[in-house]
Amino acid sequence: MAIDQGESWVNLAGNGQLEPATKMPIVGQIFFRTDESSLDSDDLDAIESIAVGLKRFLGGTYGPHLQPFKLGFIGYADYRGAAAYNSKLSQRRADMVREEVDDHFLGSHSTFYWRSRYSSLSYGAGEGRERDRTLLYKDRRVDIVSEKTHRARVEFPDTEIHVSPNNPNLSKAFAMRTRYGLSVNAPVIEVAVQGLKIAIRNERTGEELKMQFAGGGASAGLPIGINRPTTYSKFTTPYYMELTDFLGEGSITGAAVFVGTTNLEFFGPLASGAAPAIDIQMNKPLVVTQGGWDFSAGVGGVTGSWERG
């Protein structure tokens, strides 16, 4: 019995093949059944995997300094039927996959970080080259191509980021310490700027990531705030993350004057795709509460970004 649909796959490192129409490296393929352009649950899982994988890799490797990048979606159909019909079918398939991927990067639940860097195009290439009727499933596909590939192989987790993973870099157990912080507040106009250096440690691997925050916003409190070094305090995240998921946009809110607690907010898990879909849709950041500081910016909040440093 002939195979009606190939198995979809994604891998940012590519598979060594060049896309026939564009001569660009193929980083994924989504396959379709005969005369269909709709996506089944397996296709949607594959598409979500490439979106999550791209966000985790590009956000973790390049962070705020990621340059704009583009994905191409090249649709094909097998040779059976009229050429004009097959051309339209190949375009519908390309558009279908493009729209689904676009939603992960450009949709209302996405962040400005990705909307300002991601773009895409789709193209219907018409009929494929396969003429062996037992292999026609190879031509019912959309090739996903990238302007650039990366040597490092990228794993595309499905449910792995929501269950206890074998990859120790994914963890729910972390620890944080303050390295140093300084805030300056203008009481009359209630505006503050704040800089903070912290370190976050993955308790599964012992690996540490040093980070720095710079931001500003509305606040009411002491004119000067100083955060001296603290020891590590452990905290647990509600979902599995890598250290690099903490990088990205963030804020510091709810700070108390003198010895008190402060909420550190991280929007990185939303941008990287590590957060659950509902958190991404609601733009709900990861909040980590820290205490024992000498002084802080006061009540209010400052927004900025968490970067390496």
- Same structural domain for residues 167 and 304? yes
- Same structural domain for residues 188 and 99? no
Say whether pLDDT at 132 is over 80.
yes
Query: CA-CA distance, 261 to 119, in Å (whole number)?
Result: 41
- Same structural domain for residues 66 and 133? yes
Per-residue pLDDT of 171-230, as tens digits, reads 889 999 888 766 555 444 445 556 678 899 999 899 999 998 876 555 545 445 566 678
- Same structural domain for residues 77 and 181? no
Rg of the chain, C-alpha, whole Å? 23
- Same structural domain for residues 197 and 263? yes
**pLDDT for position 147:** 72
**pLDDT for position 148:** 61
**pLDDT for position 216:** 59
Token pair, residue 31, equals: 């396959």
- Same structural domain for residues 210 and 282? yes
Tell me which long-range contacts 181-184 makes (C-beta under 8 A, separation of at least 24). Answer: 181/225, 181/226, 181/227, 181/293, 182/224, 182/225, 182/226, 182/227, 183/219, 183/224, 183/225, 183/226, 183/227, 183/295, 183/296, 183/297, 183/302, 184/223, 184/224, 184/225
Residue 257 within a domain = yes
pLDDT band of 80, cuts 50, 70, 90 = very high
Please state the rounded mean pLDDT for residues 270-291. Answer: 83
**pLDDT for position 158:** 40
The listed range with the strongest mean pLDDT (18-22, 109-113, 192-196) is 18-22
- Convert 53-66 to b/e letters by CB count within 10 Å (16 or more is b): bbbbbbbbeebeeb
Q: Which of the pair, 182 or 156, is modelled with greater confidence?
A: 182
Residue 1 within a domain = no
Residue 3 within a domain = no
The residues, ordered by sequence, that sit 6+ positions from 251 with a Cβ below 8 Å of its Cβ are 215, 217, 265, 285, 301, 302, 303, 304
Q: Where a domain ends, among 133, 156, 179? A: 156
- Same structural domain for residues 233 and 118? no
**pLDDT for position 161:** 32
- Same structural domain for residues 145 and 261? no
- Structural domain that includes position 231: 162-308
Share of the chain above pLDDT 90, in %: 33
**pLDDT for position 13:** 67
Residue 266 within a domain = yes
Number of domains in the chain: 2
Please state the rounded mean pLDDT for residues 120-132. Answer: 94
CATH code of residue 145: 3.30.1330.60
Please state the pTM of the whole predicted model: 0.64
Residue 201 within a domain = yes
- Same structural domain for residues 95 and 202? no
Q: Which of the pair, 10 or 26, is modelled with greater confidence?
A: 26
- Same structural domain for residues 151 and 187? no
Say whether pLDDT at 96 is over 70.
yes
- Same structural domain for residues 224 and 277? yes
Q: Where a domain ends, among 120, 141, 156? A: 156
Q: Where a domain ends, among 156, 179, 197? A: 156
Averaged confidence pLDDT in the chain: 79
- Same structural domain for residues 126 and 197? no
